[in-house]
Chains A and B, each alone.
Chain A
Amino acid sequence: SQKIEQNSEALNIQEGKTATLTCNYTNYSPAYLQWYRQDPGRGPVFLLLIRENEKEKRKERLKVTFDTTLKQSLFHITASQPADSATYLCALERNGNNRLAFGKGNQVVVIP
């Protein structure tokens, strides 16, 4: 069966350190993968998209890698700040036409 797995345990990290989140998937062949941020009671906010032929993508303090052989994406927040505390969702394109399949999300708590 198809699965998108993100760590269910919250990641507690000291301010200034790098937070690294993992997204593993099985039985998907996505053309791209996206990362979203979601704050409590709010809708997800798009952060980054990485295509299957891209190894790495950066945006300000964010970095995403995509390994289609390992079927894994890593999401890094460098120099983390308390304002980065949120749940981060990974999403895969499924069957074309912008239909997304989401993981459960991984909560990040940045401690001042």
Chain B
Amino acid sequence: DAGVTQSPTHLIKTRGQQVTLRCSPKSGHDTVSWYQQALGQGPQFIFQYYEEEERQRGNFPDRFSGHQFPNYSSELNVNALLLGDSALYLCASSLGTSSYNEQFFGPGTRLTVL
């Protein structure tokens, strides 16, 4: 049973470019949350997708957008990249949006913006 998978593992972009990160949830999970983790910091919640809709959003600008597909996989898109967007981007999946459902994290995508 595969856990949460993310691609790519690493990515290097330049300022102003756009990037798309991908996430496949753990088998049987239908909810995907995205987090940004800067070096030395804890993960920061970006948004959560359930039933192909954005259900919650953290304090991130509109440059950050996402999508969830019918197979529950998800994409995170970031436009007009800034140097400060350099971080580890984590995807977490769970079954439903209940507060007590354990979230399983993927290995992350390391994004470097030059």
- Mutual binders A and B: yes
Q: A residues touching B (Cβ–Cβ < 8 Å)? A: 4, 31-32, 36, 41-46, 49, 51, 89, 91, 93-105
Chain B contacts for A41, CB-based, 8 A:
88, 107-108, 110
Judge whether B110 and A98 touch: CB under 8 Å: no
Q: A70 → chain B, closest Cβ, in Å?
A: 21
Chain A contacts for B104, CB-based, 8 A:
46
Judge whether B106 and A98 touch: CB under 8 Å: no
Q: B residues touching A (Cβ–Cβ < 8 Å)? A: 4, 31, 33, 35, 40-45, 48, 55-56, 58, 88, 90, 92, 94, 97-108, 110
Contacts known (A98-B94, A99-B33); A89 close to B99, Cβ less than 8 A: no
Chain A contacts for B98, CB-based, 8 A:
97-98
Contacts known (A45-B105, A98-B94, A99-B45); A32 close to B99, Cβ less than 8 A: yes
Q: B89 → chain A, closest Cβ, in Å?
A: 10
Report the separation of the CA atoms of residues A3 and B102 in the bound assembly, to the nearest whole angstrom: 22
Query: B45 contacts which of A45, A100, A104 (Cβ < 8 Å)?
Result: A100
Judge whether A104 and B40 touch: CB under 8 Å: yes
Question: Can you list 8 A-B contacts with CB-CB less than 8 angstroms, sorted by A residue number?
Answer: A31-B100, A41-B88, A49-B102, A98-B31, A98-B101, A100-B45, A100-B103, A104-B40
